[in-house]
Amino acid sequence: MTATDPALTALAQSWCALSLLHGRIEAHIERALQAKHDLSVREYSLLDVLSRQHDGDGGHLQMKQVADAVVLSQSATTRLVTRLEDRGLLERYLCPTDRRGIYTNVTEAGLKLLEEARPTNDAALREALDEAAKNPELAPLVRVVETLKTPVPA
């Protein structure tokens, strides 16, 4: 295969289309969340991921798992957790079975903000997908996103 191989060129074009779709969706959601809830997409995602934790076996995520779930480095995730903790939306505590482990939970204020922001996030996502569907290059990707039924494993 060479760099000018038609298969590689098509693959690169497809990747560019996927990247474009992602960027447009993220930017649209970002503007909506910032305007109405003073939240970034990453902050919303972090609150959402952490709100799904439970007290059962394996129910709390380690920082690496959280970082993977929100698609950030561990250091960026730690900084994000600190910002939200400073706003009173998250709290950290020591793991009761392993004193070296630190867990993070969403506070009541964080859960309230997440509940208020979820409809904004969902509506902005729908708007961004509807707008992207008008673009012939992006429409097939929108259809794929709309037909996914389960989360993609990390």
Q: d(Cα 37, Cα 40) in Å, to the nearest integer?
A: 9
How far apart CA 111 and CA 91 sit, in angstroms, is 12
Phi first, then psi, for residue 73 (nearest 5°) are -70, 165
Query: Could you tell me which residues are beta bridge partners of residue 91?
Result: 105
For the domain that residue 75 is a member of, what is the CATH number? 1.10.10.10
Predicted confidence band of residue 145 (pLDDT cuts 50, 70, 90): very high
Contact between 103 and 95 under an 8 Å Cβ cutoff? The reply is: yes
| Structural domain contains residue 152 | no
User: What is the structure's pLDDT at 98?
Assistant: 73
Is 2 contained in some domain?
no
Enter the tokens of residue 77. Answer: 């995730």
What's the pLDDT at 50? 95
Count of structural domains within the chain: 1
Paired tokens of 81: 């957790």
Domain annotation covers residue 154: no
Residue 99 lies in a domain: yes
